[in-house]
Structure 1
């Protein structure tokens, strides 16, 4: 009867009802029969159906009673079951199960299928540090496996440990391996486990014949070195002219927080033929916050074919805090051909610009036919004048009208904007003046006022001023 229940549970999982099947609470003692039943049921499925069902040998959970069956399955004639059993054993402490440990090691060194050997490396890497270190020689040997798949897993596992043999082996993979992904993963592993001693190897990898490897090396160097490092800066500047777009993209990203000296080089590649590169360049130019960059960024708004680049360009304009940038953003919002996302982005950037000249266009946008535009306009007004009540009188009529909007999000954002630009006494007066039939508007404003009062009370408590009272 118990076996029947488990077969039903397995079939439910195979039928796509895994969540409900796996929540069954059985109080009986677990038995190896359960895992055997799962394997038997999977064996009845065609290979494509079996994999498509997304059912694994871990679906029954972890229990010592399953170990003997899993160990036996590591010698199955079907590589799918051997790999599945090895993966399932990763959830067990191999120190407590010597037979399982031997099975994993045997699979790593003797199995004819790369998938199974790769699973064995991964299983060893998922063990506790003490267990994993005990099998360091086996993982190091896996770096010489004829299959790139196995070598990749070995590199990933070894990158978690820092020791002289590991670093030496990873450096060898970086310089000698014929597989691009192995070299890339070796770069990432070296950057994690021995940055200081691997620096020369990372610099050397920026001259790799494969562009993806060069890009990975630049990324690792940016993570490891200070952006003020002149050697790294010169390397990134030179990489802006690399023939591979991914390298140029990584170089532009690395220069994102560069000193003013990198501005001419960024301006020179602002029209790169690859959209991904232009995207990173426009972000880097935004971080420069230099008046010389404004027109180059604006060109990526109005002359750009890629919407993603246009969107980030308006964001970068908002970071310039420049009067010309504000005018470009106003024009962008008023140009429907640029696309909805870009126009909404332009409104967001106007709120981020800190330029009071943006307020009239934001107030006008509160009357736009599109609810998303109206909501963003209210948010931007809040961001533009948070904590400043100088323009409350100018903004109050339009925001009060938006508080009665048919769209709930617009009402909520308008209420928050009112809280940002008005004093609390003025807000309470406004709330009192709202008619009872405007219940949605009243509720939105009440929530915003309550949030503001909670923030101020918390701030007063932090500074030791006690409770704040309003007349």
Structure 2
């Protein structure tokens, strides 16, 4: 009797245990289905960044992790950033200094101030002064002004000029003008030209105009043009317009186009641009003119561009005219011609150019061509561009060809392009494919890192689980991208620019 009761009791207890363990398992499954706890995930991501910022075996990742911790103003990172600043590695020292400036606070400022006398690299030294300025300490700025007079070291002059522009040191304008006008080395002249644009003092405009017209070095003329664009105004615009018409350096003239866009100029040279485009015989000149007409918004050039698109024999110029028409809101007029080049031209360079243009337009015939070229194209560059075009189009029918390219293409650049394109697809549609690539042991580290980055930039809350899991990846770059992704998903902090150095 007693034994029966004990046995019955044991059976009841056993059934209760089974139910209890089953309930625990069910709760665990539900927790996993919902994803990791956001606070725990964020804490793990910070720990991951701390570990990466301590690991000197991957200096590229180490510096980026340090920058992210500074941007997050993570107080526990102070000692680590101080150590990185004093590590002796130039890139890590530069990024750690920037991170300390982002972190802020009296201790970060003291660390920078105390270490400054021992910094020998002129660019790191200048960065420390800039960071101290951002923290409210301008005591070291006179050292930069003194460095402008150092005739023995052009890099010291260049770094000082750049830093003085960043800190807004108006009192240095006369020194910067002197550097731009008289320095024998083009590196300080270029840095002075950029700095004068940041300071935006009107006295610098005639000097920048002279540098654009007369300096023998292309890099200095480009710096002067970009600074004039920041000033804007009738005089600066007229100088930029004049330079575009009369300069002969192709790269400089190409740079002048966005400068004129920024300065809201270009209208005065529309007739000259149309004449340049209409002249036959010089493909480079005509293509450059077409680009300028499109980007500067000359609607009056539309008939001319359409005529060339239909009748000209120069395929390079026709593609340039097509792109200009697209910029001017005349996409239907150019799609058929550019698509025909993509489909039928036997020259890879023309096909590549056509693919670059069409990638920006959600055109159904182009989408179908991109799918075909991604699957069967012989040139990997064109396959990669086709993947990009499919992603930008955003049509769900592109998911399957992109997934197949990611799994099967023999060229890693094409697979990377497919990952980037999947990141451009509508929210949720590509998450599973990207998560699989991120977790895939048969994928390269570059593919896994690209997948983590694509999931991060989508800002998709449902991507938290695969990103959290990737914090344990074997590759440092993958862990960095995963940590940044977890932080963005859990806290809404976009750290895309946090790993961009001031350098």
Task: Normalising by structure 1, report the TM-score.
Answer: 0.54
Q: In the TM superposition, what whole-angstrom CA distance separates every residue of 1:122-161 from its partner, at most 9, and x where no partner exists?
A: 1111014xx2x23211111211212222111111111223
Q: Are residues 213 and 55 of structure 1, via their aligned partners in 2, closer, same or farther at CA, if it must alter by over 3 Å?
A: farther
**Counterpart in 1 of 2:175?**
103
**Counterpart in 1 of 2:158?**
83
In the alignment, is residue 265 of structure 1 matched against residue 345 of structure 2?
no
In the alignment, is residue 154 of structure 1 matched against residue 224 of structure 2?
yes
Q: For 2:309 and 2:254, how far apart are their aligned partners in 1?
A: 21
**Counterpart in 1 of 2:196?**
124
Q: For 1:59 and 1:209, how far apart are their aligned partners in 2?
A: 53
Counterpart secondary structure, 1:55: helix
**Counterpart in 1 of 2:362?**
287
Q: For 2:187 and 2:311, how far apart are their aligned partners in 1?
A: 37
Q: In the TM superposition, what whole-angstrom CA distance separates every residue of 1:416-451 from its partner, at most 9, and x where no partner exists?
A: xxxxxxxxxxxxxxxxxxxxxxxxxxxxxxxxxxxx
Q: Are residues 168 and 118 of structure 1, via their aligned partners in 2, closer, same or farther at CA, if it must alter by over 3 Å?
A: same
In the alignment, is residue 169 of structure 1 matched against residue 245 of structure 2?
no
Q: Which has the larger radius of gyration?
A: 1
Q: Are residues 81 and 167 of structure 1, via their aligned partners in 2, closer, same or farther at CA, if it must alter by over 3 Å?
A: same
**Counterpart in 1 of 2:271?**
200
CA apart distance, 1:288? 4.0
Q: Are residues 139 and 288 of structure 1, via their aligned partners in 2, closer, same or farther at CA, if it must alter by over 3 Å?
A: same
**Counterpart in 1 of 2:470?**
none
Aligned residues: 327
**Counterpart in 2 of 1:37?**
117
**Counterpart in 1 of 2:377?**
304
Match of 2:207 among 116, 138, 162: 138
Counterpart secondary structure, 1:57: helix
Q: Are residues 84 and 225 of structure 1, via their aligned partners in 2, closer, same or farther at CA, if it must alter by over 3 Å?
A: closer
2:273 touches 2:292 (CA, 8 Å); kept in 1?
Answer: yes
Q: Are residues 236 and 277 of structure 1, via their aligned partners in 2, closer, same or farther at CA, if it must alter by over 3 Å?
A: farther
Task: Normalising by structure 2, report the TM-score.
Answer: 0.51
5+ residue gaps, structure 2, are 1-81, 439-463, 467-503
1:90 touches 1:127 (CA, 8 Å); kept in 2?
Answer: yes
Q: For 1:337 and 1:29, how far apart are their aligned partners in 2?
A: 52
Which stretch shows the higher mean deviation, 73-82 or 336-345? 336-345
Q: Are residues 142 and 314 of structure 1, via their aligned partners in 2, closer, same or farther at CA, if it must alter by over 3 Å?
A: closer
Q: For 1:334 and 1:84, how far apart are their aligned partners in 2?
A: 49
In the alignment, is residue 72 of structure 1 matched against residue 146 of structure 2?
yes
CA apart distance, 1:202? 3.9
Q: What's the C-alpha RMSD, in Å, of the aligned pairs?
A: 5.1
2:168 touches 2:199 (CA, 8 Å); kept in 1?
Answer: yes
Q: For 2:108 and 2:205, how far apart are their aligned partners in 1?
A: 39
CA apart distance, 1:37? 2.3
Q: For 2:370 and 2:113, how far apart are their aligned partners in 1?
A: 66
1:320-359 counterparts in 2 under 5 A? Answer: none
1:191 touches 1:198 (CA, 8 Å); kept in 2?
Answer: no
Q: In the TM superposition, what whole-angstrom CA distance separates every residue of 1:193-212 from its partner, at most 9, and x where no partner exists?
A: 21422323444554699867
5+ residue gaps, structure 1, are 1-6, 43-49, 353-361, 374-406, 410-471
- Which structure has greater helix proportion? 2
**Counterpart in 2 of 1:390?**
none
In the alignment, is residue 189 of structure 1 matched against residue 269 of structure 2?
no
